[in-house]
Structure 1
């Protein structure tokens, strides 16, 4: 039965509460409603089944609930549930194929049936509707990210998103000169225009070098270079440059890593603009470079304890900008790296330790550069020695000083003892390789746990060449031992997504809160699966995102599918960050349960994305089971 004109208006208002209908033009939404029909399903009644063939309608669930159960050939836990506002079965309607599950109403259920012809027509007319059909999960994720940005907008002064390409910044005409320009002329131009640097370019506007005010003392005054000398004799080269397609985040990281204040921007190799730190963070209280510079300038651990608090404040500001979880965790990890590096340098200076004889390695989430705010220590030490037993005590004393100082800076000691001050994790390269090889060879439960932590290692401070044999062994040996990969898969499948037999969220009730451990029951599934496929295909990347991207080809997976894995993982990371940073949507137990979220506090979009992401995690585990356990 087609809806009446009055009901069309009522349905439009009802549907505008949900994506993608909330983004559609009213005219397009009215057309969708007017060409649809309504249907009622009693509790237990079949809505759709494979025997019906390709569905001729897309179902919009107005009221009630519908569950789907896979056939006997599928896993017993493969159920799912649709609630008011959900649309199904998108894939079957667009692909003109039969559904692969049997759908039943579990209560009095009312649906709006949208003809397939109308679906295809509106997919062309309405970009929001078309995008939703083609990128359903990714569309929800984007809406969720926007909701967070709106919720935090009043808490920050930031106006420029770090995701923006540098071409979107107002272009500044850089002051330049040719390499044969007399030094005196270049300095005079800097003085006249009140600038601190001048870029040196060739006739085709390609950047050759830079002369800054800070260079003058060491490169001009003290060496007594004559002012008629060409500027090319004293300019700094090469110059760190970015293109108009690079992002503000990449510019911020470049400035932080190299201690620079300006970055030339090129287009097709030609200089077109100059971006400064002030441009990136003009309206922000803290900048990445300000925080990292303060950390690097610290002269003692006590100062680092104070400066380290800025990392949390900076992360809060970035969340307010709507910065994605990947960028947030990378930036947090970068600042944690800067702090750890400076702390190790201070301890090494005090203890007269030669950092060229060792390498401090980051493990776990730090090794993957996926740290959130609430993170403890996971680290190890690699040292060069011909007499390990004689030299180890000295390295252990050094490591203990570092671990205890990190604790004072806000990084709790690891309860499992995975720290460099533990003799088990303070080894020579040969000892590390022997230990890694033993884990792969035997694969005991403890070996698998250790591999999950240590195989994500990343060199942080010291001589990176010491860890090269370790990475080579892991990459080579793990893929050569199928039994080990099977054992890793079995261990990874012990934690399942929190979905009940109907496919709804399965929460733990605690003091009236409906909690889900987003780390243990969510991100860990993506991390473990990505690690296994990376090991299986000899991929050296350690971050979850890069592992999925690199493994997609060897796995025969479409780029869109691996992109969905990445986006799902990063949405769960964002939920963790929101809890830990005390976001308005987070539960108040942030400090005692830093990875648990009360689903009752989530808005409608986030609840939907969470459910979709957990379903995605379950399908990922099904793939893992098929590849390694059957």
Structure 2
């Protein structure tokens, strides 16, 4: 198993299945003797066969010896850590690592789909299995004590992405890694800015990410797309504090190396910082008047994902969106029409057509060539079907499950999307190698004959998908 790929391994594939347990009522000295006998550092405490807590050698030191307590008078239940922190055996390793770092613990109990104990995972187990992975970087992010430290770590994320891209890791896994690490940097920055400079900040708000960040489909071009949703009844003082926090946070985010959104889609701007009711009114305006600007705003917002704060606002806004669209599909039809305007760069005879004007001569913009059409077209179809969560691949799978796409359509579209994202990443890495800012423009002369053929097939799939959208939303009737 490649060290870089282990990050995406299900916990059940690497945890230790043999778990030593004891009753919660067992005398502590007996539990300690058992740990010594088997040379282990912990026991899972059970009650009627169900895991309830865990007792470790550290607990014996810190809770008993250091406190001067008499161990013979104690039971396991009086010392164990409870409730037990668990993780499902089908969850990815990176989720386990995040949970351990977040809870400041060194082991997790692994449970099956029915919640039954089936294994244990320790940080030592992970370290023995890998020589280089995002684990250490994630731990450093969680422990970062300043924006300056996060600036360094943000650069390390880019360096890690370059390393992983050359290691043979699947592009989808790499993109997921970048998205997850960038999420953790932003959450840690929010925590630091709030604690250090805005301790009185209201709890009744959510910081949400939008667009590709909301779909967790970032590559190396990671400019900001974010917003804030807050309670309808905040006081003037609370609103003033939230405004100051938002401006401070976004300025600090820019300071650590995350570029501002050229379109101003950032929480520091009033238009992207509204109450729950205010967002519903904005959505009503966008949805009822599908101008190009409103389509762009709505499309960005439909990908909202809560990164920090009150998560119920996201659920309520997504319910508002789907309810509105069930009654009026004009917005989705206009969105689909906008998608179809982005024609794949194919000639009448099916050849790939590169730009002919400097400074982009010989290149194509991979995002405009096909990625945009897939992400936005799939989004429109998913919203029509009531699918509001997940990224593009999850939405494609959902559309196949709902019978909107055939199995072959879904497979072909997902394959085209994956290949185009891989080429986009390749274009960005090439720009970095040449000392340029990451770019979506790929020089066609950097592709071999087989890759060129695969690109042609991917663009043909985009064209076929646009034709499908044309029929699905009856765009011929729109004139």
**TM-score relative to the length of structure 1:** 0.67
1:211 maps to which of 47, 55, 61: 55
Deviation at 1:292, TM superposition (A): 2.3
- Whose Rg is larger? 1
Equivalence for 2:312: 465
**Is the 2:7–2:134 Cα contact (8 Å) retained in structure 1?**
no
Specify the alignment match of 1:543 in structure 2: 391
Say which of 170, 191, 207 aligns to 1:324: 170
1:360-371 paired onto structure 2 within 5 Å: 360-371=207-218
Shift of 1:430: 0.7
2:88 maps to what in 1? 242
- Which residue pairs with 1:345 in the alignment? 191
Distance of aligned partners of 1:423 and 1:314 in 2 relative to their CA distance in 1, 3 Å threshold: same
Select which of 505, 523, 526 maps to 2:371. 523
> Of 562, 567, 581, which residue of structure 1 is paired with 2:415?
567
Aligned to 1:291: 137
In structure 1, distance between residues paired with 2:395 and 2:68 = 50
| In 1, Cα distance between equivalents of 2:384 and 2:435 | 37
Report Cα offsets for 1:379-413 as digits up to 9, x if no partner.
11122253677754432221111011111222111
Q: 1:265 to 1:426 in 2, by over 3 A?
A: closer
The answer for the alignment partner of 2:43 in structure 1 is 198
Which of 290, 299, 302 is equivalent to 1:455?
302
Match of 2:323 among 459, 476, 482: 476
Match among 221, 225, 241 for residue 374 of structure 1: 221
Following superposition, the deviation at residue 544 of structure 1 comes to 1.3
Counterpart CA distance in 2 for 1:577 and 1:607 is 16
Three-state SS of the structure 2 residue aligned to 1:210 is: strand
Q: Tell me, in whole angstroms, the C-alpha distance in 2 between the residues paired with 1:600 and 1:470.
A: 46
1:420 partner SS: coil
Contact 1:158 1:321 in 2 (8 A): no
Instruction: String of CA shifts for 1:226-262, please: whole Å, max 9, x gaps.
Output: 445332442433331333x655455445545655443
Residue equivalent to 1:592: 437
Change beyond 3 A, Cα 1:284–1:513: farther
Per the TM alignment, residue 479 of structure 1 is displaced from its structure 2 partner at its CA by: 2.9
- In terms of fraction of residues, the more helix-rich structure is 2
Count, aligned residues = 470
User: Structure 1 residues 159, 427: CA separation in 2 closer, same or farther (over 3 Å shift)?
Assistant: closer
Paired with 2:407 and 2:69, the residues of 1 have a C-alpha distance of 58
When residues 336 and 182 of structure 1 are mapped into structure 2, their CA distance, relative to the original with a 3 A threshold, is same
Q: Structure 2 CA distance, aligned partners of 1:467 and 1:246? A: 24
5+ residue gaps, structure 1, are 1-148, 150-156
C-alpha deviation, 1:460, in angstroms = 1.2
Shift of 1:496: 1.7
* Alpha-carbon distance between aligned partners in 2 of 1:373 and 1:593, rounded to the nearest angstrom: 7
5+ unaligned residues in a row in structure 2: which ranges? none
Query: Does the 8 Å contact 2:43/2:56 carry over to 1?
Result: yes
TM-score, with length taken from structure 2: 0.86
Equivalent position of 1:303 in the other structure: 149
8 A contact 2:111–2:119 mirrored in 1:
yes
Task: Encode CA deviations 1:190-219: one digit per residue, 9 max, x unaligned.
Answer: 456664433335787x65432234545675
Distance 1:296 1:253, change over 3 A: closer
- 1:576 matches 2:424: yes
Alignment of 1:41-56 (within 5 A): none
Matches within 5 A, 1:169-208: 169=14, 173-190=18-35, 195-200=40-45, 207-208=51-52
In 2, distance between residues paired with 1:178 and 1:224? 21
Cα distance in 1 for residues equivalent to 2:449 and 2:47: 56
Aligned residues: CA RMSD: 3.3
Counterpart pick for 1:623 among 464, 468, 478 = 468
Distance (Å, rounded) in 2 between the aligned partners of 1:219 and 1:287: 34
Distance 1:391 1:260, change over 3 A: closer
Alpha-carbon spacing, 1:235–1:387, altered in 2? closer, same or farther (3 Å): closer
